């Protein structure tokens, strides 16, 4: 009989509960099954000190560890809550209300700006705990806002992905965020600024098929699942057994699909080194070409969106 069975006093079981309860004191690693005191786990950026398993991390904690305590949140535009009046076992509007209460966020993307090393950076982080980090219109608007801010402040754009794919409750509107996110990336690229993607567990579906694989550099966390369809779906489709580490970060690195696999605790240092190569020192002002639309509109000539063809809007 497990010692956490029904005969265990409730006060003891409460200390080891594996859910979103803020009063839980310990966390069991799903990889090595060792118990870690939550305060120690947070000190390690939610990386298991015993086996190196990367637990999920909140967007705010992620931004703090990448940008430091002086990071600034970028407010994102609000989007319609339930444009299709979708309902499955419960209305989509009710699901949104529930997840907003659980996470304290309006949707699955949080954007912050600050510095990594001495280079400016705008960092957009997906929250897997908000409907599986699914991509809806809010994420599309958020990425466009992040791209505009990056161009305006002459900063790198860094996107941290964590998603099961497109949000089915928004139907075709969700799928349209794939080309819209591509426009966001193109804005940054035309301004001559770096676009870096950090792939975390999991990154799948329409997110992988769009902005997650458009980076100048792709860095993955150890063990992250990265792909379009999941391995079980692929196995059932082709009726063949896949390699054990198929679609994991290390496998993709070996096949040349990504550039690096980096421990979360080393990400800030590694990003600082990368940006020091890709961006000029802050004291050097880069001249703006007269025909560089993305750069011109980042100044006093008007909003960035004015440069886009009407069809692209």
Cα distance between residue 102 and residue 93, in whole Å:
14
Please report whether residue 284 resides in a domain: no
50 assigned ligand-binding residue = no
Task: Give per-residue pLDDT as tens, 108-125.
Answer: 999 999 999 999 999 999
Phi, psi of 6 (to 5 degrees): -65, -15
Cα distance between residue 273 and residue 267, in whole Å:
10
48 assigned ligand-binding residue = yes
Query: For residue 287, what pLDDT band results from cuts at 50, 70 and 90?
Result: low
What pairing do the DSSP bridges indicate for beta strands 26-28 and 72-73?
A: unpaired
Is the pLDDT reported for residue 286 higher than 80?
no
Is the pLDDT reported for residue 14 higher than 70?
no
Higher pLDDT, 167 or 4: 167
Task: Give per-residue pLDDT as tens, 62-92.
Answer: 999 999 999 999 999 999 999 999 999 999 9
Task: Single out the residue of 101, 275, 122, 270 nearest to residue 188, CA to CA.
Answer: 122
Strand, coil or helix: what is 121?
A: strand
Same domain flag for 45 and 140:
no
Sort 204 into a burial class: Cβ within 10 Å, 0-12 / 13-18 / 19+.
buried
Beta-carbon contacts of 144 under 8 Å, excluding residues fewer than 6 positions away, are: 180, 181, 183, 184, 187
pLDDT for res 312: 39
Please report whether residue 298 resides in a domain: no
pLDDT for res 244: 86
Same domain flag for 34 and 76:
no
Same domain flag for 177 and 256:
yes
How many structural domains are present in the chain?
2
Residue 123: in which H helix or E strand, if any? strand 119-126
Task: Give per-residue pLDDT as tens, 221-240.
Answer: 999 999 999 888 999 999 99
Domain that holds residue 41: 14-55
Cα distance between residue 150 and residue 153, in whole Å:
5
What pairing do the DSSP bridges indicate for beta strands 72-73 and 260-261?
A: unpaired
pLDDT for res 10: 53
198 assigned ligand-binding residue = no
pLDDT for res 246: 93
Same domain flag for 243 and 106:
yes
**Average pLDDT in the chain:** 87
Task: Give per-residue pLDDT as tens, 248-268.
Answer: 999 999 999 999 999 999 999
Same domain flag for 253 and 114:
yes
pLDDT for res 230: 86
29 assigned ligand-binding residue = yes
Q: Considering the entire predicted model, what is its pTM?
A: 0.83
pLDDT for res 305: 46
Please report whether residue 290 resides in a domain: no
Query: For residue 24, what pLDDT band results from cuts at 50, 70 and 90?
Result: confident
Please report whether residue 306 resides in a domain: no
Task: Give per-residue pLDDT as tens, 194-221.
Answer: 999 999 999 999 999 999 999 999 999 9
pLDDT for res 130: 98
pLDDT for res 285: 66
Please report whether residue 33 resides in a domain: yes
Higher pLDDT, 7 or 126: 126
Phi, psi of 202 (to 5 degrees): -100, 160
* % of the chain residues with pLDDT over 70: 83
Beta-carbon contacts of 239 under 8 Å, excluding residues fewer than 6 positions away, are: none
Same domain flag for 76 and 200:
yes
> If you average pLDDT over residues 142-155, what whole number do you get?
98
* % of the chain residues with pLDDT over 90: 80
Is the pLDDT reported for residue 95 higher than 70?
yes
Beta-carbon contacts of 46 under 8 Å, excluding residues fewer than 6 positions away, are: 54, 55, 56, 57, 61, 264
Please report whether residue 308 resides in a domain: no
């Amino acid at each position: 009989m497990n010692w956490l069975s029904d005969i265990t006093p409730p006060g003891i079981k409460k200390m080891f509960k594996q859910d979103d309860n803020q009063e839980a004191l310990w966390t069991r690693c799903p990889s090595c099954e060792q118990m870690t005191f939550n305060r120690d786990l947070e000190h390690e950026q939610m990386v298991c000190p015993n086996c190196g398993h990367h637990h999920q991390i909140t967007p705010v904690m992620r931004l703090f560890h990448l940008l430091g305590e002086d990071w600034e949140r970028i407010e994102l535009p609000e989007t319609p809550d339930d444009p299709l009046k979708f309902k499955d076992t419960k209305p989509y509007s009710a699901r949104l209300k529930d997840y907003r209460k659980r996470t304290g966020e309006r949707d699955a993307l949080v954007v912050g700006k600050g510095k990594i090393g001495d280079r400016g950076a705008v960092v957009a982080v997906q929250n897997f705990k908000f409907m599986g980090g699914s991509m809806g219109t809010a994420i599309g608007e958020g990425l466009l806002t992040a791209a505009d801010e990056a161009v305006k402040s002459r900063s790198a754009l860094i996107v941290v992905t964590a998603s099961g794919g497109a949000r089915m409750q928004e139907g075709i509107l969700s799928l349209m965020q794939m080309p819209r996110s591509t426009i966001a990336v193109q804005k940054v690229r035309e301004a001559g600024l770096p676009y870096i993607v950090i792939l975390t567990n999991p990154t799948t579906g329409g997110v992988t098929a769009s902005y997650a694989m458009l980076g100048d550099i792709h860095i993955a966390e150890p063990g992250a699942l990265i792909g379009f369809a999941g391995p079980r779906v692929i196995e059932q489709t082709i009726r063949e057994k896949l390699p054990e580490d198929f679609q994991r970060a290390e496998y993709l690195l070996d096949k040349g699909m990504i550039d690096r696999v980096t421990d979360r605790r080393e990400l800030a240092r590694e990003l600082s080194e990368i940006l020091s190569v890709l961006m000029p020192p802050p004291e050097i002002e880069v001249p703006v070409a007269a025909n560089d639309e993305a750069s011109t509109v980042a100044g006093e000539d008007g909003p960035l969106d004015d440069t886009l063809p009407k069809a692209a809007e």
